[in-house]
């Protein structure tokens, strides 16, 4: 618990950024955000990392991004969430960065070569 500090000067307060508001709209802006969210929850439930590990890794990445001067208005929150997920699954040996990169390219390739209206499947590797 934190008690409010009565000695904060008005000038400093004026420089604080405003808070982005919502209308109680969707919590996930895009489907991939929900998928990234579910992956972290499920991997933690399965015991690959504790939730405490997850939150401290995420907090670390959020802070690093803020220190780099990246916008931190909440709009890129799941970008960081995904970066943390990639970092943690690699650190835990569940997969590795090279495999993730290769798989990402394979998906992009699959989209480029699947005719419209057909489900996108990964093509068998040669």
Partner 1 sequence: MEERRKTTTGSDQHDHDHQAVPSDLALRVKAIESLLVEKGLVDRAALDAIVDAYETKIGPRNGARVVARAWVDPAYKKRLLTDATAAIAELGYSGGQGEDMIVLENTPKVHNLIVCTLCSCYPWPVLGLPPVWYKSAPYRSRAVIDPRGVLREFGLELSEETEIHVWDSTAELRYMVLPERPAGTQHMSEQELAGLVTRDSMVGVAKVTAAKSGAAP
Residues 6+ away with beta carbon under 8 Å from 57: 84, 87, 88
Burial of 85 (0-12, 13-18, 19+ CB in 10 A): buried
Least distance in angstroms from the C-beta of 124 to partner 1: 13
Least distance in angstroms from the C-beta of 25 to partner 1: 8
Between 15 and 126, CB nearer to partner 1? 15
Between 91 and 101, CB nearer to partner 1? 101
DSSP 47-73: TSS-HHHHHHHHHHHHHHHHHTT---S
Least distance in angstroms from the C-beta of 111 to partner 1: 4
As a whole number of angstroms, the distance between CA 35 and CA 28 comes to 10
**Cβ–Cβ under 8 Å, residues 78 and 62:** no
Between 13 and 126, CB nearer to partner 1? 13
Least distance in angstroms from the C-beta of 126 to partner 1: 18
Between 27 and 126, CB nearer to partner 1? 27
């Amino acid at each position: 618990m934190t008690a409010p500090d009565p000695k904060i000067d008005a000038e400093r307060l004026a420089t604080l950024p405003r808070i982005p508001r919502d209308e109680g709209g969707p919590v996930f802006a895009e489907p991939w955000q929900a998928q990234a969210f579910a992956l972290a929850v499920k991997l933690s439930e399965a015991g690959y990392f504790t939730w405490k590990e997850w939150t401290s890794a995420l907090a670390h990445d959020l802070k690093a991004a803020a220190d780099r001067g990246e916008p931190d208005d909440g709009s890129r929150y799941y970008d960081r969430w995904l970066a943390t997920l990639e970092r943690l699954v690699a650190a835990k040996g569940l997969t590795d960065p090279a495999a993730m990169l290769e798989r990402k390219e394979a998906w992009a390739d699959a989209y480029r070569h699947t005719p419209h209206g057909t489900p996108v499947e990964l093509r068998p590797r040669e």
